Amino acid sequence: MTAPKSFFELTKWLFPVVAISLMFLALAGCNSREDEVPAQSAAMAANPSEATESQPPLSKKDEAPAQSAVTSEKPFEVTYCQLLLSEAEVVEQGIDRQRRMYPRGSKLRISAQAVEEGFNAATRKEAMACFNQAWRFNPENPMAYWGAGIIRGLEAKKFSENNMIDFARKCWNDCLKLFESAEKLIDNVPQEKVFFQIHLAQTYTSYAIAMKDDLDDQGKAMLEKAKALALQYYDCKLFEPEANKQVQMRAGWQLWRIYTALGNSAEAEKYKKDAEEIEKERRLPGDIKWGE
């Protein structure tokens, strides 16, 4: 299964860069308000190449109700994610029937627009509603899964910080499930796949660090998976020199976090130093410092 080619006719850097920015800010220590999606950097927000296209969402009656499992004891509400529905639930809610009502071209266009709106949303709830809509119109849109996974990662981190282990573990597992679905759909776009897999390494690492007292061997296995993904692209030569450096820098920051978590300070400092050197060469005012 591959993502529709027409989706990737949008600016190729828009969604990967924004998505990675969101996750690195949130899961690597950004302290935004509880229900906000972290803002893009000034440099990214000024990008004139962003595509825009207006399309109304489905009516409110098509939206499923908020998850009833959320209780007042939680520090904040967990957003409702339709991408995690079972096949039976998809049929029961009439989502498959809705998809058949639209021409393929319209579905792809609406889905792409919904993803863009999701990555520019002000809150987690608004963002997840957009990713739900993107998935309802096109279940093969990898960016819908990627965006929804980011939101679940934000929620998992908050539960971890509040020592609500069961809720945190559920959200982390949802996050990984969403990312794994995205990974299956993004294979045909090499550059997006590279950034996604570094992002996936970030998530494995964040999960293992956040749940370090409750994962044991599973946490170590996640760190090893993260290390394998980051090392795979550390000496990237797949693209133009500037893009290769960007990949190497992000992989380097992840390897620093991974080796720090594994207790190997010598290797951690080596990758941190290399990432800092690359960052100094290419950093512009307003850019995000990926290791923070």
* Per-residue pLDDT tens over the stretch 225-256: 999 999 999 998 888 888 899 999 999 999 99
pLDDT of residue 273: 94
The residues, ordered by sequence, that sit 6+ positions from 106 with a Cβ below 8 Å of its Cβ are: none
Query: Which band of pLDDT confidence, cut at 50, 70 and 90, is reported for residue 188?
Result: low
C-alpha angle 198/200/202, rounded to 5°? Answer: 75
CB half-sphere exposure, 24, CA atoms < 13 A: 24
CB-CB contact of 285 with 248 (8 Å): no
C-alpha angle 82/158/44, rounded to 5°? Answer: 75
For range 91-99, the mean pLDDT: 93
Chain centroid to CA 73: 26
Query: Which band of pLDDT confidence, cut at 50, 70 and 90, is reported for residue 279?
Result: confident
- Token duo for residue 29: 């220590």
pLDDT of residue 224: 93
Indicate whether 8 pLDDT > 50: no
Between 216 and 81, name the one with better pLDDT: 81
Name the average pLDDT for the chain: 76
Query: Which band of pLDDT confidence, cut at 50, 70 and 90, is reported for residue 193?
Result: confident
For range 42-58, the mean pLDDT: 32
The residues, ordered by sequence, that sit 6+ positions from 23 with a Cβ below 8 Å of its Cβ are: 150, 153, 199, 202, 203
**Burial track 237-250 (b if 16+ CB lie within 10 A, e otherwise):** eeeeeeebbbbbbb
Measured CA to CA, the distance from residue 287 to residue 249 in angstroms comes to: 13
Q: Name the residue among 161, 172, 196 with its Cα closest to residue 3.
A: 196
Q: How far is the CA of 168 from the CAs of 144, 155, 207, in angstroms? A: 22, 8, 9
pTM value? 0.69
Q: What is the DSSP letter of 51?
A: -
Indicate whether 290 pLDDT > 70: no
- Token duo for residue 73: 């004891």
pLDDT of residue 186: 87
Query: Which band of pLDDT confidence, cut at 50, 70 and 90, is reported for residue 167?
Result: very high
pLDDT of residue 292: 31
